[in-house]
Amino acid sequence: MSNINEVKINGPVQELVGNPSALGLLGLAMVTLVASSQKLGITSGTAYIIPWAIFLGASAQFVAGLYDFKHNNTFGATAFCGYGFFWFAVGMTWMMGNGTIGLAEGAVVDVHQLGFAFLGYFIFTVYMTVGAMGTHKVLFTIFFLIDLLFLGLFMSTLGWGGEAWHKLAAWSELGISIFSFYGSAAAVLNTHYGQVVLPVGKPFGPWVK
């Protein structure tokens, strides 16, 4: 549990909150673990993925992003809120496909629109990966794997490649889950004990001060 304290600095009250990264990465780890099982053919269908998409992939990351705004962390807030909204949208798409949210009779459904959405998130993730270089190597690895996930998703959904792109997306998503679990554990334990229990690697790149 995070401690919330109020610190008075020259009159105004500043609210101090715990590091939300642990919660956000947990949400990402859980939803990608469940979703990757379907892409890899270990499980089938999407009906039972929807709750994890809505509550972990979407809500947990969105809440983490809101608290990163309180930390004045533009990168973290944009990342968690951005991917939180992604999972809200994906969850709704699956709900439509499973009949939870009905389509109007005669509605035109074109899966290529999802492909262009995945392309947009690929572009978003590429410049967020540059920002991840300034955090730590575990987070950079997660973003690099998300790059591969969206590359595989938009290529396969738009029909610009064969089954290899789908497999790239599937295995990348599983890798995202593994590294996100590690990143979440590191954020919890390193903060809790006030020392490095699980190393995450130093920032790197030409813009690191």
- Per the rule left: phi > 0, alpha: psi between -120 and 50, beta: everything else, 110 is beta
- Judge whether 127 lies within some domain: yes
The pTM of the full predicted model, rounded to 2 decimals, is 0.91
- pLDDT of 123 > 70? The answer is yes
Cα dihedral sign for 134, 137, 91, 168?
positive
Between 111 and 105, the more confident residue is: 111
Residue linked to tokens 């992939």: 57
- Judge whether 181 lies within some domain: yes
Between 16 and 73, the more confident residue is: 73
pLDDT > 70: what percent of the chain?
A: 92
Residue 182 CB coordination number (10 Å): 17
- Judge whether 95 lies within some domain: yes
Instruction: Please state the domain count of the chain.
Output: 1
pLDDT in tens, 22-56: 999 999 999 999 999 999 999 999 999 999 999 99
- Judge whether 207 lies within some domain: no
- Judge whether 208 lies within some domain: no
CATH code of the domain in which 67 resides: 1.25.40
pLDDT > 90: what percent of the chain?
A: 83
| Size (the chain), residues | 209
- Judge whether 7 lies within some domain: no
- Judge whether 129 lies within some domain: yes
Report the pLDDT value the prediction gives residue 2, as an integer from 0 to 100: 44
DSSP string for residues in 181-199 = HHHHHHHHHHHHHTS-SS-
- Judge whether 142 lies within some domain: yes
**Is-contact 79 129, C-beta < 8 A?**
no
Between 1 and 168, the more confident residue is: 168
Residue 186 CB coordination number (10 Å): 22
Mean of pLDDT over the chain: 92
List the domain range (segments joined by +) for residue 53: 19-193
